[in-house]
Amino acid sequence: MATQEMTPNAQNRYDITHDDVPLHCPMSDMSQWNSHPKVYLSVEETGQAKCPYCGTEYFLLDKAK
């Protein structure tokens, strides 16, 4: 059974954890055929990042690790 991929850029905010690092947009579980090129985002230092292509914001929930 195939896994359902998330639609890329369907939301403008995602809460992520260290399991999602290294972070890139679109994320691994998003289909990439209809999105922008993959870009890696630095989220570890500040706990947040914004994609320069689509403006999606990512917030690291477990920043204190």
Question: Is the Cα torsion angle 23, 19, 32, 56 positive or negative in sign?
Answer: negative
Residue 15 bridge partners (DSSP): 59
Task: State the pLDDT confidence band at 1, using cuts at 50, 70 and 90.
Answer: very low
Residue 48 has pLDDT above 50, yes or no: yes
pTM for the full model?
A: 0.77
